[in-house]
Amino acid sequence: MKIISYNVNGIRSALSKGLLDFMQLSGADVFCFQETKALPNQVEPYLFELSGYPFSYWVSAEKKGYSGVAIYSKTKPDHVAYGFGVPEWDNEGRIVRADFGELSVISVYIPSGSSGEDRQAFKMRWLEFFTGYINNLRKERPNLIVCGDYNICHKPIDIHDPIGNKNSSGFLPEEREWMEQFVQAGFTDSFRSLYPQPHQYSWWSYRANARNNNKGWRIDYCMVAEPISKRIVDAGIMPNAKHSDHCPVWVELN
């Protein structure tokens, strides 16, 4: 199974930039999208069907043009779970899960705290809740693949300027500590487990020609739970796919 995770920063915008062609040529079995910024009825399902992904599952935010996640797949999952089941967190449309046999694939969009102290505080509360949610879910569904935009750089190697960004949301000590605890609790960062080289990023600011200069952040991950981590065949980042300010990341499991 090959899974691609992609923060599309508006799925309608990404569609206008050739997203469907990319999907058709990708060889992926499952796509996890984040920041769809739309409702399902605002895109044409038959276009995705023609590209080989007839099954789609969305969780949209209450606020129009904001947040939202989706999963598209070639085969129909056995079960789909929409949201957390907690209104406080679900009104922003940040998680959807599809179960394929013993495997469970999650598309998650972790909040950003870059807009101010209130959102940063919300992000930290959200992360605390998410930890408990995942820990409980693993008792029922241990073979998890948690894909998405985590809005956190784990280590200095994951950001182009760790010193200059030491006080920036997304690279704060408490966020990085959360990420470390998440991994240590039994998840494998699929890309970094195979590729320790620097200068590998998945998001670039639109400002200062950051993408062309590769001044980026690696904030998108395919995290694989410990029981199936040995099944990772390969993983990667696709910086040449330019439908968004993010690029796709992927993992393949046997």
* Residues shown for the chain: 254
In 64-217, where does DSSP find H-type helix? Answer: 87-90, 117-140, 173-184, 190-194
Rg for the chain, CA atoms, rounded: 17
Q: Which pLDDT value is given to residue 155?
A: 98
What is the spatial distance between Cα 39 and Cα 99, in angstroms, rounded to a whole number? 22
Q: What percent of the chain shows pLDDT beyond 70?
A: 100
Q: Catalytic amino acids?
A: 149
Q: How far is CA 74 from the centre of its chain?
A: 19
What is the spatial distance between Cα 206 and Cα 220, in angstroms, rounded to a whole number? 17
Q: Which pLDDT value is given to residue 187?
A: 98
pLDDT digits (tens, 9 = 90+) for 120-143: 999 999 999 999 999 999 999 999
**Residue 88 binned pLDDT confidence (cut-offs 50, 70, 90):** confident
* CATH number, domain containing residue 213: 3.60.10.10
Identify the DSSP state of 33.
Answer: E
Identify the DSSP state of 110.
Answer: P
Phi, psi of 93 (to 5 degrees): 60, 70
Query: What is the domain range of residue 186?
Result: 2-253
Are 53 and 25 in contact, with CB atoms under 8 Å apart?
A: no
What is the spatial distance between Cα 106 and Cα 147, in angstroms, rounded to a whole number? 6
What is the spatial distance between Cα 35 and Cα 241, in angstroms, rounded to a whole number? 16
Task: Report the domain count for the chain.
Answer: 1
**Residue 20 binned pLDDT confidence (cut-offs 50, 70, 90):** very high
What is the spatial distance between Cα 130 and Cα 5, in angstroms, rounded to a whole number? 19
- Average pLDDT over the chain reads 97
User: pTM for the whole thing?
Assistant: 0.97
